Amino acid sequence: MPLSNNILSFLFNMQLPFALPNGIDVLDVHKDAAVRNACTTFYKSFYHDSRPRHLLLGINPGRFGGGITGIPFTDPIRLQQDCGIENNFQKKQELSSVFIYDMIQAFGGPQAFYSRFYISSISPLGFIKDGRNLNYYDDAHLKNKIEPFVIQCINTQLRWGLIRDVCFCIGEGENLKYLKALNQKNKWFNTVQGLPHPRFIMQYKLKQKQKYLDNYLAYLQAAS
């Protein structure tokens, strides 16, 4: 079965297996028909094969990237301009998506990058609190409850034949700490390599952006 079919089935059938704490809502856009169409076109375009890929894991989807398009680190602008997929989503920019697609273009473009890498998240479902993005680790109750869901999601995706010598963790703080602890218990990957989070780079280190792009490319090219 092509990888695209596995990815789409996974995305379209996700369910959070526990009740969320009061005031926190799940961000799952894959029930929306326009999102399903965009995801289907994207994954059929770049993943309709059985080639093994390395995995990059972010935190969880945010409101302006994957929380709109259903595709990790891909805002509606990048989906149309970089991936060539027309869409009617509101053309809002996500800083993380800007960095990731600058990196993808430097790698050789979406076709070259996505033929070697698959991007997902520790939690493929996002979270909202008080109208703002919430990282899974920012709420103690959520962080405690989410572990079985995270393990299930990673196990499911690894069954597709992803390469396990190294996993790239997008985020060098709490996300990396959490993934390394889980990897120690579950023995998924030989190595978990942390990468600075694109939002941190774009918000606080913009003048050094090229250095961070070069850093990403060095690690990814060495793995591919």
Which string of b and e fits 156-187 if b means at least 16 CB within 10 Å?
A: ebbebebbeebbbbbbeeebbebbeebbeeee
Q: pLDDT tens per residue, the chain (224 residues)?
A: 899 999 999 999 999 999 998 899 999 999 999 999 999 999 999 999 999 999 999 999 988 889 999 999 999 999 999 999 999 999 989 999 999 999 999 999 999 999 999 999 999 999 999 989 999 999 999 999 999 999 999 999 999 999 999 999 999 999 999 999 999 999 999 999 999 999 999 999 999 999 999 999 999 999 97
Q: What angle do CA 34, 152, 49 make, to 5 degrees?
A: 55
| pLDDT tens for each residue of 169-213 | 999 999 999 999 999 999 999 999 999 999 999 999 999 999 999
Rounded distance, CA 165 to CA 150, Å?
20
Rounded distance, CA 168 to CA 171, Å?
9
Residue with tokens 């770049």: 46
Q: What is the pTM of this model?
A: 0.96
Helix, strand, coil percentages, rounded to 5, for the chain:
50, 15, 35
Angle between helices 33-46 and 3-12 in degrees, nearest 10 = 160
